[in-house]
Structure 1
Amino acid sequence: METIKALNKWANVHTSIPIDLLRIGLGVFLFAKGISFMSSTQILMDLLSPFQNWAGGMLIMHYVAPAHFIGGLLIIFGLLTRWAIAAQLPILLGAIAINFAGDMQIGNLVLATATFLICIFFLVYGSGKHSADYYFKMQQ
Protein backbone atom coordinates (compact mmCIF):
# COMPACT_ATOMS: atom_id res chain seq x y z
CA MET A 1 0.00 0.00 0.00
CA GLU A 2 2.84 2.37 0.82
CA THR A 3 4.42 1.76 -2.60
CA ILE A 4 1.19 2.71 -4.37
CA LYS A 5 0.96 5.95 -2.39
CA ALA A 6 4.58 6.77 -3.25
CA LEU A 7 3.96 6.07 -6.94
CA ASN A 8 0.82 8.23 -6.91
CA LYS A 9 2.70 11.11 -5.30
CA TRP A 10 5.49 10.78 -7.86
CA ALA A 11 2.96 10.69 -10.73
CA ASN A 12 1.15 13.78 -9.41
CA VAL A 13 4.40 15.73 -9.21
CA HIS A 14 5.65 14.72 -12.68
CA THR A 15 2.44 14.87 -14.71
CA SER A 16 3.42 18.04 -16.51
CA ILE A 17 6.75 16.80 -17.88
CA PRO A 18 5.29 14.87 -20.86
CA ILE A 19 3.09 17.82 -21.72
CA ASP A 20 6.08 20.16 -21.50
CA LEU A 21 8.07 17.81 -23.72
CA LEU A 22 5.20 17.84 -26.22
CA ARG A 23 5.23 21.65 -26.17
CA ILE A 24 8.98 21.73 -26.71
CA GLY A 25 8.68 19.19 -29.52
CA LEU A 26 5.99 21.33 -31.17
CA GLY A 27 8.25 24.36 -30.90
CA VAL A 28 11.21 22.50 -32.39
CA PHE A 29 9.03 21.26 -35.26
CA LEU A 30 7.72 24.75 -36.03
CA PHE A 31 11.21 26.24 -35.73
CA ALA A 32 12.57 23.62 -38.14
CA LYS A 33 9.73 24.33 -40.58
CA GLY A 34 10.53 28.05 -40.37
CA ILE A 35 14.19 27.38 -41.10
CA SER A 36 13.18 25.11 -43.98
CA PHE A 37 10.92 27.76 -45.50
CA MET A 38 13.57 30.48 -45.06
CA SER A 39 16.37 28.43 -46.57
CA SER A 40 14.41 27.41 -49.66
CA THR A 41 11.62 29.82 -50.51
CA GLN A 42 10.80 27.83 -53.63
CA ILE A 43 9.21 25.12 -51.46
CA LEU A 44 6.98 27.72 -49.82
CA MET A 45 6.07 29.27 -53.17
CA ASP A 46 5.18 25.83 -54.53
CA LEU A 47 2.99 25.14 -51.50
CA LEU A 48 1.21 28.47 -51.91
CA SER A 49 0.70 28.07 -55.66
CA PRO A 50 -3.06 27.35 -55.33
CA PHE A 51 -3.42 30.78 -53.69
CA GLN A 52 -1.02 32.75 -55.90
CA ASN A 53 -3.79 34.71 -57.63
CA TRP A 54 -5.35 35.83 -54.38
CA ALA A 55 -4.70 39.28 -52.95
CA GLY A 56 -1.99 39.23 -50.32
CA GLY A 57 -0.16 36.18 -51.67
CA MET A 58 3.22 37.83 -51.16
CA LEU A 59 2.17 38.94 -47.66
CA ILE A 60 1.32 35.34 -46.82
CA MET A 61 4.71 34.18 -48.04
CA HIS A 62 6.49 36.73 -45.85
CA TYR A 63 4.34 35.86 -42.83
CA VAL A 64 4.68 32.07 -42.76
CA ALA A 65 8.44 31.60 -42.37
CA PRO A 66 9.06 34.26 -39.67
CA ALA A 67 5.95 33.22 -37.75
CA HIS A 68 7.12 29.61 -37.65
CA PHE A 69 10.69 30.64 -36.81
CA ILE A 70 9.89 33.11 -34.01
CA GLY A 71 6.78 31.29 -32.81
CA GLY A 72 8.73 28.04 -32.58
CA LEU A 73 11.39 29.69 -30.40
CA LEU A 74 8.76 31.21 -28.12
CA ILE A 75 6.95 27.89 -27.79
CA ILE A 76 10.20 26.03 -27.02
CA PHE A 77 10.94 28.38 -24.11
CA GLY A 78 7.31 28.66 -23.07
CA LEU A 79 7.31 32.42 -23.41
CA LEU A 80 4.07 34.02 -24.61
CA THR A 81 2.98 30.56 -25.68
CA ARG A 82 -0.68 31.33 -26.27
CA TRP A 83 0.19 34.36 -28.41
CA ALA A 84 2.72 32.38 -30.44
CA ILE A 85 0.19 29.61 -31.00
CA ALA A 86 -2.49 32.10 -31.98
CA ALA A 87 -0.11 33.32 -34.71
CA GLN A 88 0.34 29.72 -35.92
CA LEU A 89 -3.36 28.87 -36.25
CA PRO A 90 -4.06 30.76 -39.51
CA ILE A 91 -0.96 29.21 -41.06
CA LEU A 92 -2.04 25.72 -40.03
CA LEU A 93 -5.57 26.28 -41.30
CA GLY A 94 -4.01 27.39 -44.57
CA ALA A 95 -1.84 24.27 -44.60
CA ILE A 96 -4.93 22.13 -44.22
CA ALA A 97 -6.76 24.11 -46.91
CA ILE A 98 -3.85 23.82 -49.36
CA ASN A 99 -4.34 20.06 -49.38
CA PHE A 100 -7.93 20.49 -50.54
CA ALA A 101 -7.29 23.34 -53.00
CA GLY A 102 -4.18 21.84 -54.61
CA ASP A 103 -2.85 18.31 -54.86
CA MET A 104 -4.06 16.15 -52.00
CA GLN A 105 -1.10 14.81 -50.05
CA ILE A 106 -2.30 12.68 -47.18
CA GLY A 107 1.00 12.87 -45.26
CA ASN A 108 0.99 16.66 -45.27
CA LEU A 109 -2.69 16.75 -44.37
CA VAL A 110 -2.19 14.45 -41.37
CA LEU A 111 0.88 16.42 -40.24
CA ALA A 112 -0.90 19.78 -40.53
CA THR A 113 -4.02 18.47 -38.80
CA ALA A 114 -2.06 16.92 -35.93
CA THR A 115 -0.04 20.11 -35.48
CA PHE A 116 -3.25 22.15 -35.55
CA LEU A 117 -4.88 19.97 -32.88
CA ILE A 118 -1.79 20.13 -30.65
CA CYS A 119 -1.77 23.90 -31.04
CA ILE A 120 -5.44 24.06 -30.03
CA PHE A 121 -4.58 22.01 -26.94
CA PHE A 122 -1.78 24.38 -25.93
CA LEU A 123 -3.93 27.40 -26.69
CA VAL A 124 -6.27 26.16 -23.96
CA TYR A 125 -3.72 24.52 -21.63
CA GLY A 126 -1.03 27.18 -21.73
CA SER A 127 2.70 26.81 -21.50
CA GLY A 128 2.96 24.39 -18.57
CA LYS A 129 4.91 24.27 -15.36
CA HIS A 130 8.42 24.20 -16.85
CA SER A 131 8.27 27.38 -18.91
CA ALA A 132 9.40 30.97 -18.90
CA ASP A 133 5.80 32.10 -18.41
CA TYR A 134 5.51 30.03 -15.22
CA TYR A 135 8.91 31.25 -14.00
CA PHE A 136 8.04 34.92 -14.52
CA LYS A 137 4.62 34.39 -12.95
CA MET A 138 6.25 32.96 -9.82
CA GLN A 139 8.72 35.87 -9.64
CA GLN A 140 5.94 38.41 -9.16
Structure 2
Amino acid sequence: MMKTKELNKWANAHTSYPIDLLRIGFGIFLFLKGVSFITEKKYLHDLLSAMGGFGSEMLLIHYVAMAHMVGGVMIVFGFLTRWSIWAQLPIVLCAFLINFIGDFNTHNFIQASIALVLCVFFLFFGSGKHSVDYNLKLEK
Protein backbone atom coordinates (compact mmCIF):
# COMPACT_ATOMS: atom_id res chain seq x y z
CA MET A 1 0.00 0.00 0.00
CA MET A 2 1.25 3.46 -0.86
CA LYS A 3 2.18 5.85 1.90
CA THR A 4 0.86 9.38 1.90
CA LYS A 5 4.15 10.92 0.72
CA GLU A 6 4.35 8.47 -2.20
CA LEU A 7 0.72 9.17 -3.04
CA ASN A 8 1.37 12.93 -2.93
CA LYS A 9 4.41 12.63 -5.21
CA TRP A 10 2.41 10.58 -7.70
CA ALA A 11 -0.56 13.01 -7.55
CA ASN A 12 1.69 16.06 -7.94
CA ALA A 13 3.40 14.49 -10.94
CA HIS A 14 0.05 13.73 -12.57
CA THR A 15 -1.83 16.89 -11.64
CA SER A 16 -3.48 19.07 -14.22
CA TYR A 17 -5.67 22.14 -14.36
CA PRO A 18 -8.86 20.18 -15.18
CA ILE A 19 -8.42 18.15 -11.98
CA ASP A 20 -7.87 21.38 -10.05
CA LEU A 21 -11.01 22.84 -11.61
CA LEU A 22 -12.88 19.68 -10.62
CA ARG A 23 -11.64 20.07 -7.02
CA ILE A 24 -12.65 23.75 -6.99
CA GLY A 25 -16.06 22.96 -8.49
CA PHE A 26 -16.61 20.20 -5.94
CA GLY A 27 -15.70 22.58 -3.11
CA ILE A 28 -18.11 25.21 -4.45
CA PHE A 29 -20.84 22.56 -4.74
CA LEU A 30 -20.32 21.52 -1.10
CA PHE A 31 -20.32 25.13 0.08
CA LEU A 32 -23.56 25.89 -1.77
CA LYS A 33 -25.09 22.68 -0.43
CA GLY A 34 -24.24 23.84 3.10
CA VAL A 35 -25.84 27.21 2.41
CA SER A 36 -28.96 25.50 1.08
CA PHE A 37 -29.21 23.41 4.26
CA ILE A 38 -29.24 26.61 6.31
CA THR A 39 -31.75 28.40 4.12
CA GLU A 40 -33.99 25.37 3.52
CA LYS A 41 -34.18 23.76 6.96
CA LYS A 42 -37.59 22.33 6.15
CA TYR A 43 -36.14 20.32 3.24
CA LEU A 44 -33.43 18.77 5.42
CA HIS A 45 -35.93 18.18 8.22
CA ASP A 46 -38.21 16.32 5.79
CA LEU A 47 -35.23 14.36 4.50
CA LEU A 48 -34.18 13.32 8.00
CA SER A 49 -37.73 12.50 9.06
CA ALA A 50 -37.69 9.73 6.44
CA MET A 51 -35.29 7.92 8.78
CA GLY A 52 -37.91 7.76 11.52
CA GLY A 53 -37.56 9.09 15.06
CA PHE A 54 -33.92 10.10 14.77
CA GLY A 55 -33.13 12.54 17.59
CA SER A 56 -31.03 15.69 17.56
CA GLU A 57 -32.08 16.75 14.08
CA MET A 58 -31.12 20.40 14.61
CA LEU A 59 -27.65 19.40 15.81
CA LEU A 60 -27.25 17.21 12.76
CA ILE A 61 -28.50 19.96 10.43
CA HIS A 62 -25.96 22.41 11.86
CA TYR A 63 -23.14 19.85 11.62
CA VAL A 64 -23.96 19.08 7.99
CA ALA A 65 -24.27 22.74 7.02
CA MET A 66 -21.05 23.85 8.74
CA ALA A 67 -19.06 20.82 7.56
CA HIS A 68 -20.13 21.47 3.97
CA MET A 69 -19.49 25.21 4.13
CA VAL A 70 -16.11 25.12 5.90
CA GLY A 71 -14.98 21.95 4.16
CA GLY A 72 -16.09 23.31 0.78
CA VAL A 73 -14.00 26.46 1.20
CA MET A 74 -10.99 24.40 2.31
CA ILE A 75 -11.35 22.11 -0.70
CA VAL A 76 -11.64 25.08 -3.07
CA PHE A 77 -8.30 26.44 -1.87
CA GLY A 78 -6.74 23.00 -1.51
CA PHE A 79 -6.05 23.48 2.18
CA LEU A 80 -6.02 20.27 4.26
CA THR A 81 -8.02 18.66 1.48
CA ARG A 82 -7.82 15.09 2.74
CA TRP A 83 -8.92 16.14 6.24
CA SER A 84 -11.82 18.06 4.72
CA ILE A 85 -12.80 15.05 2.64
CA TRP A 86 -12.75 12.82 5.74
CA ALA A 87 -15.21 15.25 7.38
CA GLN A 88 -17.45 15.13 4.27
CA LEU A 89 -17.37 11.36 3.80
CA PRO A 90 -19.93 10.36 6.49
CA ILE A 91 -22.33 13.07 5.30
CA VAL A 92 -22.00 12.14 1.64
CA LEU A 93 -22.28 8.43 2.41
CA CYS A 94 -25.48 9.05 4.38
CA ALA A 95 -26.80 11.23 1.55
CA PHE A 96 -26.16 8.31 -0.80
CA LEU A 97 -27.79 5.73 1.48
CA ILE A 98 -30.80 7.86 2.48
CA ASN A 99 -32.19 7.43 -1.03
CA PHE A 100 -32.75 3.75 -0.25
CA ILE A 101 -34.41 4.38 3.13
CA GLY A 102 -37.04 6.94 2.17
CA ASP A 103 -38.51 7.90 -1.14
CA PHE A 104 -36.03 7.37 -3.95
CA ASN A 105 -35.16 10.69 -5.58
CA THR A 106 -33.16 10.32 -8.80
CA HIS A 107 -31.76 13.87 -8.70
CA ASN A 108 -30.51 13.53 -5.11
CA PHE A 109 -29.17 10.05 -5.81
CA ILE A 110 -27.12 11.28 -8.78
CA GLN A 111 -25.75 14.22 -6.79
CA ALA A 112 -24.86 12.00 -3.84
CA SER A 113 -23.28 9.37 -6.10
CA ILE A 114 -21.08 11.92 -7.88
CA ALA A 115 -20.12 13.52 -4.55
CA LEU A 116 -19.19 10.11 -3.12
CA VAL A 117 -17.03 9.27 -6.13
CA LEU A 118 -15.31 12.68 -5.93
CA CYS A 119 -14.72 12.26 -2.18
CA VAL A 120 -13.02 8.92 -2.73
CA PHE A 121 -11.01 10.31 -5.66
CA PHE A 122 -9.73 13.36 -3.77
CA LEU A 123 -9.14 11.29 -0.65
CA PHE A 124 -6.49 9.44 -2.62
CA PHE A 125 -5.42 12.19 -5.02
CA GLY A 126 -5.20 14.99 -2.48
CA SER A 127 -5.24 18.64 -3.45
CA GLY A 128 -2.60 18.47 -6.17
CA LYS A 129 0.19 20.82 -7.14
CA HIS A 130 -1.93 23.96 -7.55
CA SER A 131 -3.10 24.30 -3.96
CA VAL A 132 -2.37 25.88 -0.61
CA ASP A 133 -1.17 22.50 0.70
CA TYR A 134 1.47 22.29 -2.01
CA ASN A 135 2.55 25.90 -1.49
CA LEU A 136 2.87 25.31 2.24
CA LYS A 137 4.82 22.16 1.40
CA LEU A 138 2.34 19.94 3.18
CA GLU A 139 2.12 17.62 0.15
CA LYS A 140 5.65 17.47 -1.26
| Superposed pair shares fold, TM > 0.5 | yes
Residue 27 of structure 1 aligns to a residue whose secondary structure is: helix
Q: Which has the higher helix share?
A: 1
**Deviation of 1:57 (Å):** 3.4
Q: Which residue of 1 aligns with 2:127?
A: 127
Contact kept? 1:81, 1:126, Cα under 8 Å:
yes
**Deviation of 1:14 (Å):** 8.8
Match status 1:63 vs 2:87: no
Q: Deviations over 1:26-70 (max 9, x none)?
A: 000000101111122111111111235124433322211000000
Contact kept? 2:37, 2:61, Cα under 8 Å:
no
Contact kept? 2:78, 2:132, Cα under 8 Å:
yes
Contact kept? 1:67, 1:87, Cα under 8 Å:
yes
Q: How does 1:70-85 map to 2 (within 5 A)?
A: 70-85=70-85
Of the two, which has the highest radius of gyration?
1
Q: Which residue of 2 aligns with 1:7?
A: none
Pair 65,101 (structure 1): closer, same or farther in 2 beyond 3 Å: same
Q: Which residue of 1 aligns with 2:23?
A: 23
Contact kept? 1:81, 1:127, Cα under 8 Å:
yes
RCO comparison, higher one (Cα < 8 Å, 6+): 2
- Note the aligned Cα RMSD (angstroms): 1.9
**Deviation of 1:106 (Å):** 1.3
Question: What code does the residue aligned with 2:110 have?
Answer: V
Unaligned runs of 5+ in 1: 1-12
- TM-score between both structures, scaled by the size of structure 1: 0.83
Q: Deviations over 1:2-45 (max 9, x none)?
A: xxxxxxxxxxx995111100000000000010111112211111
Q: Which residue of 2 aligns with 1:87?
A: 87
Aligned residues: 127
